[in-house]
A and B are shown apart, each in its own frame.
Chain A
Amino acid sequence: GNSVTQMEGPVTLSEEAFLTINCTYTATGYPSLFWYVQYPGEGLQLLLKATKADDKGSNKGFEATYRKETTSFHLEKGSVQVSDSAVYFCALNSGYSTLTFGKGTMLLVSP
């Protein structure tokens, strides 16, 4: 079956540091890949997506590249802000209507 594995958190960074959150997946076929973000007290929001190998999704300074050879979709940002503190979820869809989510990685950014 499908599964998504994310690095455990929390990830603690100082403002303006470089961010990487690792995500690997197992899926049948050629899934679409997503990153969702959950701010405190809110539901999940779509951050970025990629639908085929070598695609790069980007939004709000965040980027992730769909790597089929390593089955990975790592999230990166060059300079994080305090306002980026949230929980980040990697997810995949392999042709059905439902998403398979990872367990989430908490990011804490200090001034």
Chain B
Amino acid sequence: DAGVIQSPRHEVTEMGQEVTLRCKPISGHDYLFWYRQTMMRGLELLIYFNNNVPIDDSGMPEDRFSAKMPNASFSTLKIQPSEPRDSAVYFCASSLNQPDGYTFGSGTRLTVV
């Protein structure tokens, strides 16, 4: 298996633009997590899905953020409109309902200018 695949690896966008981050989890994993990592706040859980259904989105910072999982092999995290304070590394992870089974993607580094 190729692991958790995220795209793009790097994204630079202007303030106010829409940004879409993509994630392909490991086949067969039934949990998918979106995290954000910054120097100031560390690693924050934004939202997670179980069997494609959003379970907890309490970490989503604002209504500008939305996430979807239309099927078991694909998820998106969208920011609209983007702001400079959204600049961070966004990680996707998947698991089989075992905390030690978390597999992280390589992340998307987002820069909003």
Contacts and interface: CB of A to CB of B under 8 A. Distances in A.
B43 A43 contact: no
Interface in A57-111: 89, 91, 93, 97-99, 101-104
A42 B4 CA distance: 12
24 contacts: A32-B100, A34-B99, A36-B102, A42-B107, A43-B4, A43-B93, A43-B103, A43-B106, A44-B91, A44-B93, A44-B104, A46-B102, A49-B100, A91-B99, A93-B99, A97-B31, A97-B55, A98-B45, A98-B48, A99-B99, A99-B102, A101-B43, A102-B42, A104-B42
Contacts of A98: 33, 45, 48, 56, 99
- State which size class the interface on B falls in: 20 to 34
A29 to B, nearest CB: 14
